Amino acid sequence: MKIKHLVYLRRISQALFLLLFVFFLMESRLPGAVFQDYSREIAGPTDIRLNYPVTLFFDMDPLTWLSTTLSTHRWLAGAGWALAVTGLTLFLGRFFCGFICPTGAIRRISGKEKITGPIRIGSAFVDRGRCLPWTGNGACIVCEEVCPTSPKAVVFREADVEGFGAERLRLKQPYVNLRQCVGCGICQNKCPIKGTPAIRVIAAGETRSPKNQILLI
Ligand code: SF4
Ligand code: SF4
């Protein structure tokens, strides 16, 4: 199948799933008797699962099926659907996400895009007013250590900084190489600065939006 046919197929599939989600939304109501007196029925043995087509969709979600089974202490019908989805995912990956997502948020990444450059979801920047080496508060290399790219997107330059006791400190100050950074956010997550981290990821530079770029060349 040609790529453009696959793209059309995805769009048709996404449109159908959007209609399906709207249909499910309209059909998502508790069975009549339970709806009338929820407090009484929930304490009793009544099956309060949603009506058939909606329930089937939840049965296909392995996490929903498992958590419902565990929380109700009952073996719910629908294990076959959940196991089938789990098995397919194990062997084929989550190939269906892009076909199901009704907003198109999960888009197709072409082979060319994978080869020509990293797919970026944003860019990290160092807040020099909070970063330990930049403010003269001491040495820190955490963001460089955790950065997963190769070569690292966080690089250091040594600088003489005045410490708070007026002593001269030679510290490694971090910079972000925007050509390497993919915006994964690990550095932001691991930065030891309490409250607002000293390195943060912004949306600029993400590859999905050519207009939201910060590199000029
Ligand atoms: S982890 Fe935070 S404080 Fe440490 S060097 Fe990186 S940005 Fe600065
Ligand atoms: S956002 Fe990810 S890739 Fe970019 S500097 Fe931080 S850890 Fe490295």
pLDDT tens for each residue of 95-135: 788 888 877 777 777 777 777 777 888 999 999 999 999 99
Distance CA 208, CA 212 (A): 9
Cβ(184) – ligand 2 distance below 6 Å? yes
Cα-to-centroid distance, 133 and ligand 1 (Å): 7
Residue 6 pLDDT level (bands cut at 50, 70, 90): confident
Ligand nearest to the CA of 141: 1
> Which domains are delineated in the chain?
3-100 (no CATH), 118-202 (3.30.70.20)
Q: What is the DSSP letter of 94?
A: S
In 95-141, which residue ranges form alpha helices assigned H by DSSP? 97-100, 111-116, 132-135
Long-range pairs of 106-115 with CB within 8 A, sequence gap ≥ 24: 107/208, 108/6, 108/7, 108/10, 110/3, 113/207
The candidate with the shortest Cα–Cα distance to 122, out of 192, 54, 207, is 207
Q: Is the pTM of this model over 0.85?
A: no
| Pick from 6-10, 40-44, 87-91, 136-140: least confident | 40-44
Residue 158 has pLDDT above 90, yes or no: yes
Atom of ligand 2 minimally distant from the CA of 146: 7
